[in-house]
Protein backbone atom coordinates (compact mmCIF):
# COMPACT_ATOMS: atom_id res chain seq x y z
CA UNK A 1 0.00 0.00 0.00
CA UNK A 2 1.39 3.41 -0.92
CA UNK A 3 1.50 6.44 1.31
CA UNK A 4 -1.08 8.13 -0.94
CA UNK A 5 -3.45 5.17 -0.45
CA UNK A 6 -2.97 5.27 3.33
CA UNK A 7 -3.58 9.03 3.35
CA UNK A 8 -6.77 8.61 1.29
CA UNK A 9 -8.11 5.93 3.64
CA UNK A 10 -7.27 7.91 6.77
CA UNK A 11 -8.98 11.03 5.43
CA UNK A 12 -12.11 8.98 4.70
CA UNK A 13 -12.42 8.12 8.41
CA UNK A 14 -14.81 10.04 10.64
CA UNK A 15 -13.31 12.72 12.89
CA UNK A 16 -13.57 10.44 15.93
CA UNK A 17 -11.93 7.56 14.06
CA UNK A 18 -9.09 9.90 12.98
CA UNK A 19 -8.59 10.93 16.62
CA UNK A 20 -8.45 7.28 17.63
CA UNK A 21 -6.03 6.51 14.81
CA UNK A 22 -3.79 9.44 15.79
CA UNK A 23 -3.75 8.27 19.41
CA UNK A 24 -2.93 4.72 18.29
CA UNK A 25 -0.20 5.94 15.94
CA UNK A 26 1.58 7.97 18.60
CA UNK A 27 1.25 5.20 21.18
CA UNK A 28 2.82 2.76 18.71
CA UNK A 29 5.29 5.13 17.07
CA UNK A 30 8.22 3.23 18.57
CA UNK A 31 7.11 0.07 16.77
CA UNK A 32 6.57 1.92 13.48
CA UNK A 33 9.64 4.16 13.30
CA UNK A 34 13.31 3.42 14.03
CA UNK A 35 14.71 4.85 17.29
CA UNK A 36 15.93 8.48 17.13
CA UNK A 37 19.49 9.05 15.99
CA UNK A 38 22.12 10.31 18.39
CA UNK A 39 22.39 14.09 18.03
CA UNK A 40 26.18 13.97 18.29
CA UNK A 41 26.24 15.35 21.81
CA UNK A 42 25.77 12.06 23.60
CA UNK A 43 22.03 12.54 23.87
CA UNK A 44 19.84 9.87 22.32
CA UNK A 45 16.70 11.97 22.59
CA UNK A 46 15.02 9.32 24.74
CA UNK A 47 12.76 10.25 27.61
CA UNK A 48 11.99 8.35 30.78
CA UNK A 49 9.11 5.89 31.01
CA UNK A 50 7.41 8.18 33.54
CA UNK A 51 7.62 11.11 31.08
CA UNK A 52 6.28 8.92 28.26
CA UNK A 53 3.35 7.88 30.44
CA UNK A 54 2.62 11.52 31.34
CA UNK A 55 2.78 12.62 27.71
CA UNK A 56 0.44 9.82 26.64
CA UNK A 57 -1.96 10.80 29.42
CA UNK A 58 -1.94 14.47 28.33
CA UNK A 59 -2.35 13.51 24.67
CA UNK A 60 -5.33 11.29 25.47
CA UNK A 61 -6.82 14.12 27.53
CA UNK A 62 -6.49 16.39 24.49
CA UNK A 63 -8.21 13.89 22.19
CA UNK A 64 -11.03 13.33 24.68
CA UNK A 65 -11.52 17.02 25.61
CA UNK A 66 -10.01 19.34 22.98
CA UNK A 67 -12.30 22.14 24.19
CA UNK A 68 -10.23 22.41 27.38
CA UNK A 69 -7.14 23.51 25.47
CA UNK A 70 -6.13 26.97 24.32
CA UNK A 71 -5.27 27.34 20.66
CA UNK A 72 -2.82 29.96 19.44
CA UNK A 73 -2.74 31.38 15.94
CA UNK A 74 0.91 32.42 16.15
CA UNK A 75 4.04 31.65 18.15
CA UNK A 76 3.96 35.25 19.38
CA UNK A 77 0.51 34.73 20.94
CA UNK A 78 1.79 31.62 22.68
CA UNK A 79 4.92 33.38 24.00
CA UNK A 80 2.82 36.29 25.29
CA UNK A 81 0.52 33.87 27.10
CA UNK A 82 3.46 32.17 28.83
CA UNK A 83 5.02 35.55 29.68
CA UNK A 84 1.74 36.58 31.34
CA UNK A 85 1.80 33.40 33.42
CA UNK A 86 5.43 34.05 34.42
CA UNK A 87 4.60 37.65 35.45
CA UNK A 88 1.62 36.48 37.47
CA UNK A 89 3.72 33.82 39.21
CA UNK A 90 6.44 36.34 40.08
CA UNK A 91 3.84 38.79 41.40
CA UNK A 92 2.33 36.11 43.64
CA UNK A 93 5.74 35.13 45.01
CA UNK A 94 6.77 38.70 45.75
CA UNK A 95 3.40 39.52 47.37
CA UNK A 96 3.69 36.60 49.82
CA UNK A 97 7.20 37.44 51.01
CA UNK A 98 7.42 39.14 54.40
CA UNK A 99 8.41 42.77 54.36
Q: What is the pLDDT of residues 19-74, one digit of tens each?
A: 899 888 888 888 887 766 544 434 556 778 888 899 999 999 999 999 988 889 99
DSSP string, 9-78: HHHTS-HHHHHHHHHHHHHTHHHHSPPPPP-SSS------HHHHHHHHHHHHHHHH-GGGS---SSHHHH
**Helices 15-27 and 3-11, interaxial angle, to 10°?**
130
Round to the nearest angstrom and report the end-to-end CA distance of the chain.
70
Q: What pLDDT does 94 receive?
A: 78
**pTM for this one?**
0.37
Tens digit of each residue's pLDDT (9 = 90 or more) over 81-99: 999 999 998 888 877 666 5
Amino acid sequence: MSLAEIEKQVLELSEEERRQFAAWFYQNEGKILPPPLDDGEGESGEISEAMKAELLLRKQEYFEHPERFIRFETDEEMRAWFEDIAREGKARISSTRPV
